[in-house]
Amino acid sequence: MTHAHPQAQDDGPVSQYEILSRAMQELLEEKGVISAEQVRRRMELFDEEFPYRGSRVIAHAWADPAFKKRLLEDGKRACAEFGIDLEADRLIAVENTPEVHNVIVCTLCSCYPRALLGMPPTWYKSENYRRRVVREPRAVLKEFGTLIPEQVSVRVHDSNADMRYVVVPMRPAGSEGWSEEELAKIITRDSLVGVAVPKA
């Protein structure tokens, strides 16, 4: 049986894990457990849809204080209200204030609100981030170029069970009167995980 599957698309020698992954996928397709179309559709969602949602939601929260309040009470519900289906993700939004800076990690694996932010960056999944950010968050944030003053308390969230987290950064000075579209442009993925802050 021939497969209409693309050949290796990455540069360099083929990893044995790529071959293993393709082999498992094809066996499962042959056995009718999944379809190639389903996998293709998931790839599309991860590439074209999920990564763009987070900044839109937070921009809307910045523009609409009542929505922000609802987002902080129940992240999943507020996103649904905004037309975003987070699938299985149970979102909790945590707010940065002049007194508190939040940062997210999953020390046990790499849980991340994928349906809101797309795939986590490689540093988030790295062993060094998972080892150190819970124990010395300020030093790790400094490695990202983010300095938190002593009088601001740092709050680390270890996303270790059923909930997923997003940081609502503080809206920077100089962004007054901006449209939600303009606001979304400065809300970086890194600021939604808490290793950076948006700049106007």
Q: Show which residues are catalytic.
A: 106, 109-111
Q: Does 7 bind another protein (CB under 8 A)?
A: yes
- Two structure tokens written together for 178: 């901006």
Binding to another protein in span 121-160, by CB under 8 A: 121-123, 125-140, 143-144, 150-151, 153-160
Binding footprint of another protein, residue count (CB under 8 A): 82
Q: Which of 63, 64, 67, 74 binds another protein (CB under 8 A)?
A: 74
Q: Does 53 bind another protein (CB under 8 A)?
A: no
- Two structure tokens written together for 98: 């002049």
Q: Which of 48, 69, 77, 181 binds another protein (CB under 8 A)?
A: 77
- Two structure tokens written together for 14: 């083929």
Task: Return the sign of the alpha-carbon dihedral for residues 58, 45, 120, 89.
Answer: positive
Q: Which is nearer to another protein, 153 or 179 (CB)?
A: 153
Integer Cα distance of 81 and 93 in angstroms: 15
Report the candidate in 166, 50, 160 with the shortest Cα–Cα distance to residue 110: 160
- Two structure tokens written together for 21: 């992954």
Q: Which is nearer to another protein, 171 or 194 (CB)?
A: 194
Per-residue binding letters, 161-180, with another protein (x by CB under 8 A): xxx-----------------
- List, in order, residues 6 or more apart from 197 with CB less than 8 Å away: 96, 146, 169, 170, 172, 191
Q: Does 17 bind another protein (CB under 8 A)?
A: yes
Q: Considering only 25-33, 56-64, 166-174, 177-185, which stretch makes contact with another protein by CB under 8 A? A: 25-33
Integer Cα distance of 168 and 171 in angstroms: 9
- 149 residue type, one letter: P
- Two structure tokens written together for 189: 């993925």
Q: At closest approach, how far in Å is the CB of 182 from another protein?
A: 24
Q: At closest approach, how far in Å is the CB of 74 from another protein?
A: 5
